Structure 1
Amino acid sequence: MNRIFRRFALLVVLAMTFASGAIYLCFRLLSGDPLEQIARRQAAGQIFLLEQYIDQAPADEWLPRLNKVREVSNITLELLPLQAALVALPSGQRDALLHGEVVIDVAGKAFYRRVDIEGARYIGSEDDVIHAQRLPIDISEALGMEVIRFVMIALFLLVPIGWWARVHWRDIQALSQMADDFGSGDLSARASVAGGTGIAPLAGRINDMAGRIGALLEARKHLLHSVSHELRTPIARLEFGMELLRERHADDDAALCKRLEAMEMDLGELKTLVDELLSLTQLDHAQDMQRKPFALEPLLRTCTPPGTQHFIADIAGDLGELQGDPRLLARAINNLLGNAAKYARSRIALSAARGTQLIIVIEDDGPGIPPEAREQVFEPFHRLTREQDHAAGGYGLGLAISAKAIRLHGGAIAIDDSPLGGARFTITL
């Protein structure tokens, strides 16, 4: 919140600075330089003395009266050649001087004015300029007032903006926390936002969306769980009936025996599918699983892939302990090893090491997984369309179970290419 407010405050200050510059330029174009007007007001007494006392003298008394003012005044009055004065002034003020106007030099605390235009004061007076210096011009006070005005306006803007930003930031944090909780599996998480804030309509829509999503997910979980449980009863009845049929008739009929074996294989696949469905639905409700410390090295050494491929295990001895469910983590590792065994040509490797994090790597020399499918393979029932994937069998649940089990242990799993030539699964705990 502080970072956002600082950026917003900087934006407000910059906007006010540019606005002040734009206002200054507009006033300068419409009615002259405001700083020059301030300086002119501060030098009004000296200008009045020149115009109403010195200039009012007869022609033969003009120079003596100028000298008398020099003697009693704190300012310096000099006569300069017109060309020298024109050189000293910026181009925008030269025309005003030539027309006999008082030209203010704010930086030099001085003003210029021609003695006269007709040369009536004395011989050659039309070519002379009065240069008054050491005038009581001080624009710092005026600038200080402008700075105070700028700061006060900025404060009166930024204080309510800061309060507004704090309220909205708190509501945004509530939405963010709700999203984190909902994403981690807490389907009852909702954003608590005051009704009068600007984010309240958005929070209400997000809460409604979360409610609908939660209801759909719960319905899906209950459906899978119910279907899986309900399927066990007819499966058990089929197994019992097939066993009775085998006992009564299989010895007399070889074809029937062969048919029963095929049916038993199909029934076994159906039982495996139901068991994996139950495992998947149980993981959906395992956020509050009982966690206990367990040694990781012995657990990994018990994990081996099925089949006859050459298996290499490189497990460090200093893996330490992990908090969680050892049975569940072993299931995840074995699922990944089983997946590697389905696709590996001849080699499977398991390695584990601990640095700043615990890294477990499982890789094989099979066909690998295309980059565009590496996220989808962790979704339930997702299977690739390649010929070797259909030949490998399975139901697309093993990797989904592994990914959920690893997430429950606070870890992550990623897929890339293995130096062996196939896929490499990297688990980070």
Structure 2
Amino acid sequence: MTDLDHRYATRSVPRYTSYPTAPHFHAGVTGATYGDWLAALAPSNALSLYLHVPFCRNICTYCGCHTKAARKDGPLHDYAETLLSEIDLVAARLGSGRPVTHIHWGGGTPSLMPREPFLAITAALRRHFDIGDACEHAIELDPRTVTPELAETLREAGITRASLGVQDFDLTVQKAIGRVQPFSQVARAVDRLRAVGITQINFDLMYGLPHQDVDTIAETVRLTRELAPGRIALFGYAHVPWMKKHQRLIDETALPDTRARLAMADFARRELVDAGYEAIGLDHFALPTDSMALALRAGTLRRNFQGYTTDTADTLIGFGCSSIGRLPQGHVQNMSDTGGWSRAVRDGLLPVARGFALSNEDRARAAIIERLMTGHMADLAEIARAHGFAEEHFAGDLVSLEEMIDDGLVEVSGSRVTITEPGQQYARVAAAAFDAYLERGTARHSLAV
């Protein structure tokens, strides 16, 4: 491990899929607050929609998602009924016919939703919102669940993009994380999706899992290249057993150390770029013709609760327990327990548990952080002016970047802050310099790399 790695890669900093980050949300933002925010949105305001389905057949030991095991379909049917009611509640406050640019299903394993309720939900979305042909409709999939029947249901529902949770193709690693899925099974899933016209395929890969090393990563990358997904997300495993109790089942002695994590991440990045993928931000890769690569080149790449995205809508509406939404006025998060969420919806209430009302300062800092995380450059004076502040408003924050500047990881020219190529793997550390809430919180975050 280099000296730079020792000083930066081991720092605990947020992933910055929002600003302020979720640990700073509070109960002062309620369902009533959310209802007022929804009603105040301009009719022309474009939306994106997120639907959270917190169920899996089994819980993988590495999982950091908000989900629980459902061995039978009964809970899924009940959940779908409540989800339909929540959609009605939100639509009543928004009014009908709002344009939607993106729809994303996450979980959990949203594809566990039985066919009829799944199609009923997508029909409800079409009934309440203006979903045009250009809308990207994406879903996260467990490759083990992709049957020919499911693929056909997804096509009928209008799904245009599927993200497959692959993680690693090595059997020893798969056994250690409780997710055995041979390459042949993943390949069949990809073939079935492509056969029904769902050709926009993403793979999620991980490094830092138990028993992983450069050799297992090399084979996983090689097999991934054979299936040629348009996008690849390469995430570092976040071992947070204090938050996710099931991660205590992982043998911590089998986890690679920071040096090994860095070696795996660097190797995978080089191999993917050599294979023709463009590096996107911290952890994404896309073929040059993919819309994410086009957005990067056009300067329109964004970052939200799903990570890097081409979604440019100012408003993200979250449905389902624990889902997070973003509006111009602030962030909201639904109740995380399905019981409380269901009871609130049944009582006709928007099931918000907490959130954060944004100040103008927050919006400006969010813009700086997002630009550093997406395009690795932010003009502090330009952003300050756009939010009604003096050009030098954020100059004092540069003090926190002095170490990175001295190490050649960040350059400052006038009011422009640029993360250099060697510093891009530490972009989260640079972004943290503009986080006014970071030192106030007690939340523990994952490692920077």
**Which TM-score tier does this pair reach, normalised by the shorter chain?**
under 0.3
Q: Larger % of strand: which?
A: 2
State the TM-score, normalized to the length of structure 2. Answer: 0.19
Q: Larger % of helix: which?
A: 1
Larger gyration radius, structure 1 or structure 2:
1
Q: Which has the higher contact order (CA 8 A, sep 6+)?
A: 2
State the TM-score, normalized to the length of structure 1. Answer: 0.20
